[in-house]
Amino acid sequence: MSKIAVVTGASRGIGRQTAALLAKQGYFVAVNYNKSEAEAASLVREIKAFGGHAFSVRADVTDMNEVNIMTDKVHSVFGSVDLLVNNAGVALPQSLFSDCTEEERDRVFGVNVYGAMNCAKAVLPDMIHKKSGCIINVSSVWGITGGSCEVVYSASKAAVIGFTKALAKELAPSDIRVNCVAPGVIDTDMNAHLSREDMNVLSEEIPLGRTGTPEEVAELICFLASDNAKYITGQTVSADGGMIM
Ligand code: NAP
């Protein structure tokens, strides 16, 4: 029987490639988006074109009510969720911590931390009832090392790692695995503000000599979701070209 996945922030970037790859692997995929309705719809068309199963569903992950409505919709269209990929995320333009406003701080934590918690909370009752399920959270290398001029973002991504570990311990007796991926510098809209020159400088600092692709992060997420990773829980795995060793 096909498994059912929800990928948050699947309209663009890493989430989009993850949703597409999961669909290729036979998952029925709920493509969550917030603002990019057209992009989400085009992904659903792409998935259906190769014979996969998907539908798009809008929800702002910061809003528990919208997340519950999304989960109910997934339940009525496909059934109960087997895999949640908490990918939706926002970053701020690089700036000193002292210049970051409270509104910016709350927005970053709202999406990156509370968004992941809201979505987990919505799918868990069914997973615990079934005694099976998998949650994959998307952190960042900055959540492991901390990044100068990325203080709030780094702190939010460190919180995602702490959330992953604690939730993995709490859910292991229910046979639910919770893992985390920590991408390095990946070519998506999130880095579109960086100039080609900035990207070249960053690439020189990466042992593998280049930035990563969203497909490469999607491959890692799909591995952690698969039965090949069935003895792995509570871990944070980097896809960063060797930035962190
Ligand atoms: P992206 O291309 O900017 O895409 C971000 C996605 O998040 C979009 O699909 C967006 O949906 C969604 N999103 C934002 N706020 C949302 C909300 N409130 N509710 C629902 N969805 C929301 O970013 P990306 O690079 O693919 O990043 C994906 C994840 O990887 C993020 O968690 C990011 O922090 C992490 N990451 C990225 C990098 C990198 O270098 N790119 C490195 C480390 C970690 P809409 O457009 O529909 O609003």
| pLDDT of 93 over the 90 cut | yes
Please tell me the distance from the alpha carbon of residue 153 to that of residue 197, in angstroms, as a whole number. Answer: 23
Residues belonging to the active site? 153
Q: How far is the CA of 173 from the centre of ligand 1 (A)?
A: 31
Q: How far is the CA of 141 from the centre of ligand 1 (A)?
A: 15
- The pTM assigned to this predicted structure is 0.99
Are the C-beta atoms of 111 and 62 separated by less than 8 Å?
yes
The whole-number pLDDT of residue 1 equals: 81
Q: Residue 22 forms beta bridges with which residues?
A: none
- Binding-site residues, ligand 1, Cβ < 6 A: 8-9, 11-15, 32-36, 60-62, 87-91, 111, 115, 138, 140, 183, 185-186, 188-191, 214
The whole-number pLDDT of residue 201 equals: 92
Q: How far is the CA of 13 from the centre of ligand 1 (A)?
A: 7
**SS3 call for 176:** strand
Range 4-239 classified under CATH 3.40.50.720: yes
Are the C-beta atoms of 136 and 179 separated by less than 8 Å?
yes
Residue type (1 letter), 165? K
pLDDT tens digits, residue range 129-174?
999 999 999 999 999 999 999 999 999 999 999 999 999 999 999 9
